[in-house]
Structure 1
Amino acid sequence: MNGVLKALALPVVLFTGWWVLSADSESFYAPPLSQILTAFGDTWTLEQLKADVLPSLLRLFAGFLLAALIGVAAGVAIGSSRRLRAVTEPVLEFFRAIPPPVLVPVIMLFAGIGDAMKVIVIVFGCVWPILLNTVEGVRAVDSVVLETARSYGVTGTARITRVILPSASPQIATGLRQALSIAIILMVISEMFAASNGLGFTIVQFQRSFAIPEMWSGIILLGLLGFGLSLLFRLAERRALRWYEGLRAAQRSS
């Protein structure tokens, strides 16, 4: 509960400051926060949320989960094999350096302009932090633990699920946390190209029609979604890695 309150403290301060500083604003492009919040209530009805936000979230989750599966599986394989790591490292560094938005027109040529294109863009951007953190996590597994597992006959799939993945899970969680923020950004960017719904599409439509308060309300909604997803991920991560936090606390106290 204290963690939730701490996470909410800064957004509350920022919104209060925004309200006070924009109260007397007469700018067309930066209206008062009170006007934006009024537009928020009028614009983002339950029907509008179903029409635009729900498709965005479905694409986000599909791309994020696919990236997680690919990144963890490939990361375990590469991290477990020195030879495979030496072969794939130049290729990984090359593709990691390519900004995913640059590839949107290329992906459109092969995947069309439907949901598949948007999911692929999210996957391409999210897979790298997950994969690289998984590789580092697998490489950091204690050799004594691996040898002990081998001596007890823990090999094959059991070795991966019971030894390698639990040991590398803190590093994997770090990669997943980084990928989540990237997924939200790419979700919006992908919906700005040849889309007919979604949060990114709607924000651009408001901007093009000079519906500025509505545009700002969409940006606020996007920020709230990102904040909420980040908070949920932190809670899930804390529960899943409770053993790791306990181990660190024990090490600090000793």
Structure 2
Amino acid sequence: MMRTPTRGIRILGVGLEIAVPIGALALWAALTRDGSSFYFPPLLDIFRTFQETWLFAGMGTDVVPSLSRLLSGYAIAVVAGVVVGVALGSSHPLRRMVDPVVQFLRAIPPPVLIPAGILVLGVNSTMKVALIAFVCLWPILLNTIDGVGGVDPTLRETARSFQIPRRDRLFRVVLPSAAPQIFAGARVSLALAVIMMVVSEMVASTNGIGYFVLQSQRTYAITEMWSGILLLAILGYVLNALFLLVERRALRWHRGARTGSA
């Protein structure tokens, strides 16, 4: 008897999740229908330009390079953040010793690093990947440190008392316990990766989605500019949805434990 209200709430939530974006698009289309503003073209024109520009036409020249940079930098940040975070989270003296350096580096505004990156690495994809990895590293690293450092001491002592090998303790006790915080940091970094990809391509690039949007704005191709912005919004939404799918599968045990506790 208790499942019916819950199912109704879920159906209502899914309905609102679908209806609100459709309503927003309908409002946008209604407000721009007359095409009186040069800077806000009709939504149907943007959709038409989106189809002509991005469906297969600009996929290889702009979308693929942008996605390759984004995913490469993000993957490097995830691996480095988890590995270094586990090491720092497992050693309190090492964490205190490195913490000033970490706090100093993470406080640097990401766009400021672009000129230095151009000088050191040049105007190429390596510079953009390095900047994306640098920016995405800190949320993952800090969340991993907190997650590993916050593992229940009872679990650690129990695993140690049963003489479980250190490798098994890491993969069966420490990482599963810290996984919710690691995934939280990785989700924040994914949004930062999209932002940094666009910023780096606007400043120093000859291709990519960010470069296309900036060039469209400079040449007053306003409809093309909005189609690029629309593509970035869709890209961010899809990446977030895929991440949530992976997170839901990886942390299925965590949700089950929370439901059981409730």
TM-score, normalised relative to structure 2: 0.92
Residue 157 of structure 1 deviates from its aligned partner by 2.2
Counterpart in the other structure of 1:132? 142
Q: Secondary structure at the match of 1:196?
A: coil
Counterpart in the other structure of 1:43? 53
Q: 2:156, 2:206 → 1: CA distance?
A: 51
Residue 210 (structure 2) aligned to one of 178, 192, 200: 200
| 1:4-15 aligned within 5 A | 7-15=17-25
Relative to structure 1, is the Cα distance of residues 87 and 129 closer, same or farther in structure 2, using a 3 angstrom cutoff?
Answer: same
Q: Secondary structure at the match of 1:47?
A: coil
Residue 159 (structure 2) aligned to one of 121, 124, 149: 149
Deviations 1:144-203 (A, max 9, x none): 100011011123322211211111001000000000000000011111122111111111
Q: 1:201, 1:189 → 2: CA distance?
A: 9
Q: 2:38, 2:250 → 1: CA distance?
A: 47
Q: 1:84, 1:74 → 2: CA distance?
A: 11
Q: Which runs of 5+ in 2 are unaligned?
A: 1-9
Aligned length: 252
1:58 has 2:76 as partner: no
Q: 1:127, 1:63 → 2: CA distance?
A: 9
For the 8 Å contact 1:184–1:226, the answer to whether it is kept is yes
Residue 226 (structure 1) aligned to one of 231, 236, 239: 236
| 1:85-234 aligned within 5 A | 85-234=95-244
Residue 26 (structure 2) aligned to one of 16, 19, 44: 16
Deviations 1:57-83 (A, max 9, x none): 011110000000010011111111110
Which is further off, 64-73 or 37-46? 37-46
Counterpart in the other structure of 2:5? none
Counterpart in the other structure of 2:249? 239
Residue type at the aligned position of 1:114: N
Residue 45 of structure 1 deviates from its aligned partner by 3.2
For the 8 Å contact 1:101–1:121, the answer to whether it is kept is no
Relative to structure 1, is the Cα distance of residues 5 and 167 closer, same or farther in structure 2, using a 3 angstrom cutoff?
Answer: farther
Q: 2:142, 2:18 → 1: CA distance?
A: 31
> Percent identity at matched positions?
49
Which is further off, 86-95 or 220-229? 86-95
Q: Which runs of 5+ in 1 are unaligned?
A: none
For the 8 Å contact 1:137–1:171, the answer to whether it is kept is yes
Q: Secondary structure at the match of 1:141?
A: coil
Q: Secondary structure at the match of 2:202?
A: coil
TM-score, normalised relative to structure 1: 0.95
Which is further off, 14-23 or 73-82? 14-23
Deviations 1:200-228 (A, max 9, x none): 11111111111000000000001000001
Deviations 1:111-144 (A, max 9, x none): 1111100001101110000000001111111101
Give the alignment's Cα RMSD to 1 decimal.
1.6
Q: 2:211, 2:39 → 1: CA distance?
A: 19
Q: 2:162, 2:87 → 1: CA distance?
A: 22
